[in-house]
């Protein structure tokens, strides 16, 4: 037994599945739902062909955000959302037929909407035949959709939310509208809201020569819907749909008042056949002309104006007659649910302002290409700027002189790596051999940077600057730190000594001596070193210390920095940042090296660990009860501890 064709396609609980979805139509549907005061969204789920797992799409429903499920197939979506009755198909003309055909096979789907243009006529005919046999309805192809006022809207039907509200589509009226044109349907919604109490249902059947459902099928359906008191038809040149409606009026199959107009009367002014925008809108056959179809509708008893400009007035006159005789009771006027405006649109149109949450003064990525401190990346590349120049732009927000940027690069080269045995490299290697990704390996190594490894540069700069600026004698500076129980950052090395100097320190000092105009902080640090070497030969100025004092001298040499700025750079961590950046190069190298060598999981050898128990193995055992479980607690023999 075939299912009975529904009189109402939609109601205020109808839900849909959207195939090959697009975000703008989805938001348009949900905005309509909200202003129409629907209790549930009209979209039950989205279908993204090929998606291997159920995902979610975040979108606004009024002021709140909701999550719409995304399914990878039609079957999965229908299995999970059996209450969905409408299938809205945004697939291209290449796949719209197959996906629509599949959707029609499911008992739960009662209406299929096909947005795509260019679907072969043979496929459209097959879809129409199948849907009629199953008692279902296909809207389209080449349709914008349709709506039931205050209940359900298909995609972009009715245009913007402003037009929806202006056309009073958030509540039902008494008019049933059938058009071929999606664009003109928007205009008709507005006109009908002005000259009548608005529409109850509007359908744009699509502009193809063989749509999935005809004007007649919808007009006959409107005839059975009690809420629709008047039918309005806006046709166009080409095809016989309007003639079928005229015949139904003549045969009394349609008894409700019908106001109709067929566009394209200007085609008679052209000497040859004319093709308008839609595939089915073309002149040629005499009885398919706009004039012939308008005349047939008028002779059948439809209300047909002499021109389109009179159409709205003719509708208004008939509407008033229906009101006067009590057939139509005007709908009480009420305001729609308030819809919050889209923030992005308001910002784009300059209708709102807000305080920013983040401030950036070093980079701007809003144009065609990013800029670093106002200089585009194209300009940086064209001028062959170095990585030192880029650091100066992003860290100092200015272009430092070449000797300064070269010094930055030398520091990075010298601290890039110091072998696999230092703590940062060791941690990176262990993480890499544990199978961790590059980011995790790098982070593992970077987390070891601190006062004892690489992180002493900030503190060295702070200590040496304060001592030098306040004029503390080197010996007094050293002894005061000793009395306070503090180490002097930047002094001392586990391997290098006065007789085995660190070549990196020598390279930095040699470069600075040739390039810097001031070396007062280096000279002060060297005097401190002369004093500490009297205590031990390994208490030398190490690479952390020399980087710290030379950067102080560098900034002191550049007119770009005053004392307040230098103090700020120390406090915000600039000096350590240089070590972190440089050492990252080596840590990444170690991680890649271990992965390239396919090294196995690392386990530290037992013979490199001193196992020194604090008690002998013979311990006194006792049992205790904890949380309902009996456990053994071992207490060392007190004599063993003594």
Parallel, antiparallel, or unpaired for β 16-19 and 55-61?
unpaired
**Per-residue pLDDT reduced to its tens digit, 106-137:** 999 999 999 999 899 999 999 999 999 999 99
Distance CA 327, CA 520 (A): 100
pLDDT of residue 574: 86
Question: What integer best gives the mean pLDDT of the chain?
Answer: 89
- Residues 357-378 pLDDT 10s: 899 999 999 888 999 999 999 9
What was the pLDDT predicted at 640?
41
| pLDDT on residue 266 | 59
pTM value surpassing 0.85: no
Average pLDDT over residues 287-295: 88
With CA atoms as reference, report the closest residue to 196 among 64, 320, 377, 51. Answer: 320
The tally of CA atoms less than 13 A away on the side-chain side of residue 438 is 11
* pLDDT class of 430 with cuts at 50, 70, 90: very high
The C-alpha angle 483, 486, 490, rounded to 5 degrees, equals 125
Axis-axis angle for helices 543-557, 574-596 (nearest 10): 130
Q: What is the DSSP string of 498-539?
A: SSS--HHHHHHHHHHHHH-S--HHHHHHHHHHHHHTTT-TT-
pLDDT at 2: 42
Q: Residue 641's pLDDT is what?
A: 36
**Range 243-247, long-range pairs (CB < 8 A, 24+ positions):** 243/287, 243/293, 243/296, 244/214, 244/215, 244/216, 245/215, 245/216, 245/219, 245/297, 245/300, 245/302, 246/293, 246/296, 246/297, 246/299, 246/300, 246/302, 247/300
Out of 27-36, 570-579, 613-622, which region has the weakest mean confidence (pLDDT)?
613-622
Q: Is residue 179 within 8 Å of 185, Cβ to Cβ?
A: yes
Structure token pair of residue 278? 């839609």
Nearest to 374 by CA among 385, 358, 363, 359: 363
pLDDT of residue 637: 43
The yes-or-no verdict on residue 105 having pLDDT over 50 is yes
- Given this model, what pLDDT does residue 284 score? 57
pLDDT in tens, 142-155: 999 999 999 999 99
Q: Return the ∠ at Cα 22 (arms to 16 and 27), rounded to 5°.
A: 70
pLDDT of 156 reads: 94
Instruction: Tell me if 111 sits within 8 A of 146, measured CB to CB.
Output: no
Please determine, for residue 639, whether its predicted confidence score (pLDDT) is greater than 80: no
Domains of the chain, CATH where assigned: 16-324 (3.40.50.261), 423-596 (1.10.230.10), 612-642 (no CATH)
Q: How many CB atoms lie within 10 A of CB 207?
A: 25
Provide the annotated active-site residues.
278
Please say whether the beta carbons of 573 and 456 come within 8 A. Answer: no
Separation between Cα atoms, residue 231 and residue 218, nearest integer Å = 10
The answer to whether residues 227 and 278 touch, using CB atoms and an 8 Å cutoff, is no
Element (H, E) at 371: strand 371-372
């Amino acid at each position: 037994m075939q299912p009975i064709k529904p009189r109402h396609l939609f109601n205020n609980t109808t839900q849909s599945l959207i195939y090959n979805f697009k975000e703008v139509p989805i938001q348009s549907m949900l905005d309509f739902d909200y202003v129409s005061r629907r209790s549930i969204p009209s979209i039950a789920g989205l279908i993204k062909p090929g998606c291997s797992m159920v995902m979610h799409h975040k979108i606004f429903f009024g002021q709140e955000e909701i999550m719409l499920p995304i399914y990878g197939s039609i079957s999965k979506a229908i299995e999970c959302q059996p209450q969905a009755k409408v299938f809205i198909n945004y697939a291209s003309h290449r796949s719209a037929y197959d996906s629509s055909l599949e959707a029609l096979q499911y008992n739960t789907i009662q209406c299929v909407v096909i947005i795509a243009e260019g679907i072969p006529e043979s496929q459209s005919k097959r879809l129409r035949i199948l849907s009629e046999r199953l008692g279902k309805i296909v809207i389209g192809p080449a349709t914008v959709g349709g709506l039931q006022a205050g209940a359900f809207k298909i995609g972009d039907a009715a245009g913007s939310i402003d037009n929806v509200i202006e056309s009073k589509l958030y509540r039902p009226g008494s008019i049933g509208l059938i058009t071929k044109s999606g664009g003109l349907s928007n205009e008709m919604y507005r006109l009908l809201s002005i000259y009548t109490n608005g529409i109850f249902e509007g359908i744009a059947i699509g502009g193809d020569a063989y749509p999935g459902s005809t004007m007649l099928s919808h007009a006959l359906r409107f005839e059975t819907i009690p809420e629709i008191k008047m039918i309005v038809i806006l046709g166009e040149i080409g095809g016989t749909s309007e003639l079928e409606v005229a015949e139904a009026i003549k045969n009394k199959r349609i008894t409700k008042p019908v106001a109709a107009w067929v566009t394209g009367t200007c085609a008679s002014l052209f000497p040859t056949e004319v093709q308008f925008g839609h595939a089915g809108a073309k002149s040629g056959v005499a009885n398919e002309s706009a004039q012939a179809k308008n005349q047939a509708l008028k002779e059948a008893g439809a209300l047909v104006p002499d021109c389109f400009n009179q159409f709205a007035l003719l509708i208004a006159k008939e509407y008033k007659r229906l009101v006067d005789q009590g057939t139509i009771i005007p709908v009480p006027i009420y305001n729609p649910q308030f819809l919050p405006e889209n923030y992005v649109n308001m910002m784009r149109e300059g209708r709102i302002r807000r305080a920013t949450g983040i401030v950036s003064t070093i980079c701007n990525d809003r144009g065609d290409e990013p800029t670093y401190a106002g200089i585009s990346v194209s300009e940086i590349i064209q001028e062959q700027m170095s990585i030192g120049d880029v650091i100066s732009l992003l860290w100092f927000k200015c272009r430092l002189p070449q000797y300064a940027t070269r010094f930055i690069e030398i520091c990075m080269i010298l601290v890039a790596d110091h072998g696999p045995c230092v703590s940062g490299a060791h941690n990176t290697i262990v993480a890499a051999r544990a199978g961790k990704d590059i980011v995790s390996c790098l982070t593992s190594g970077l987390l070891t940077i601190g006062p004892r490894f690489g992180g002493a540069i900030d503190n060295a700069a702070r200590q040496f600057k304060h001592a030098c600026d306040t004029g503390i004698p080197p010996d007094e500076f050293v002894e005061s730190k000793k009395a306070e129980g503090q180490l002097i950052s930047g002094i001392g090395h586990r391997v290098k000594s006065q007789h085995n100097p660190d070549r990196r320190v020598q390279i930095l000092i040699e470069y600075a001596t040739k390039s810097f105009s001031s070396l007062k902080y280096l000279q002060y640090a060297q005097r401190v070193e002369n004093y500490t070497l009297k205590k031990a030969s390994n208490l030398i100025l190490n690479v952390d210390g020399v980087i710290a004092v030379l950067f102080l001298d560098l900034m002191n040499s550049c007119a770009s920095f005053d004392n307040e700025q230098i103090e700020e750079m120390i406090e915000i961590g600039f000096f350590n940042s240089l070590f972190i950046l440089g050492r990252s190069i080596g840590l990444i190298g170690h991680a890649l090296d271990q992965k390239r060598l396919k090294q196995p999981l690392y386990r530290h050898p037992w013979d490199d660990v001193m196992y020194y128990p604090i008690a002998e193995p013979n311990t006194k055992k006792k049992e205790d009860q904890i949380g309902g479980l009996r456990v053994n607690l071992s207490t060392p023999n007190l004599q063993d501890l003594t």
